[in-house]
Amino acid sequence: MSNVRGPKQFGVRDEPKTVTFSSNGKSKQYKISASVFVLSGCVFSMFMIGYVGATGYLAFRDDLIASTIVRQARIKHEYEDRIAALRSKVDKITSRQLLDQQAVEAQVSTLIKQQEALTGRTGEFDGLMERAKKSGLNISDLKIQTTLKHSNLDLMNTGSISKGGSISFASSLRGSKDQSSASNDFQIAAYVSPAKNLFSSVSAQIQAVQVAQVEKIHQLRIETKRKSDAIVKIFADLKVPLSSKIKHNVGGPYQAARIGLDFHELSQDLRGSMDVLDTLRARTNVLPVGNPLSGSKISSRYGNRVDPFKKTSAFHSGIDFRAPSGKRIKSSGAGKVVKAGRNGGYGLMVEIDHGNGITTRYAHLRRISVKVGQRIRRGSTIGQVGSTGRSTGPHLHFEVRRNGKSTNPMKFFNAGKKLNKYL
Do 412 and 287 contact (CB within 8 A), yes or no?
yes
Task: Flag whether pLDDT at 410 surpasses 90.
Answer: yes
> Can you give the pLDDT at residue 158?
36
Give which of 382, 370, 335 is closest to 354, Cα–Cα.
Answer: 335
Q: Return the HEC string of 91-132.
A: HHHHHHHHHHHHHHHHHHHHHHHHHHHHHHHHHHHHHHHHHH
Range from 104-108, 186-190, 264-268, 300-304 carrying the lowest mean pLDDT: 186-190
Please classify residue 220 by burial: count the beta carbons closer than 10 Å to its beta carbon, then call 0-12 exposed, 13-18 middle and 19+ buried: buried
20 phi/psi in degrees, rounded to 5 = -115, 130
Instruction: Give residue-wise pLDDT tens across range 67-90.
Output: 778 888 888 888 888 898 888 888
> Can you give the pLDDT at residue 145?
41
Instruction: Give residue-wise pLDDT tens across range 277-291.
Output: 888 888 888 999 999
Do 287 and 331 contact (CB within 8 A), yes or no?
no
pTM (predicted TM-score): 0.57
> Can you give the pLDDT at residue 165?
41
> Can you give the pLDDT at residue 17?
65
Q: How confident is the model at residue 40 (pLDDT cuts 50, 70, 90)?
A: confident
Do 290 and 412 contact (CB within 8 A), yes or no?
no
Instruction: Give residue-wise pLDDT tens across range 138-189.
Output: 655 444 444 334 333 333 333 334 444 433 433 333 334 444 444 444 444 4
Give which of 376, 373, 301, 365 is closest to 332, Cα–Cα.
Answer: 376
Q: Could you tell me how many residues make up the chain?
A: 423
* Mean pLDDT, residues 267-285: 87
Q: In sequence order, what DSSP letters do the residues of 159-189 get, joined into one string? A: -EE-TTS-EE--------TT--HHHHHHHHH
Across all residues in the chain, what is the average pLDDT?
Answer: 77
> Can you give the pLDDT at residue 196?
63
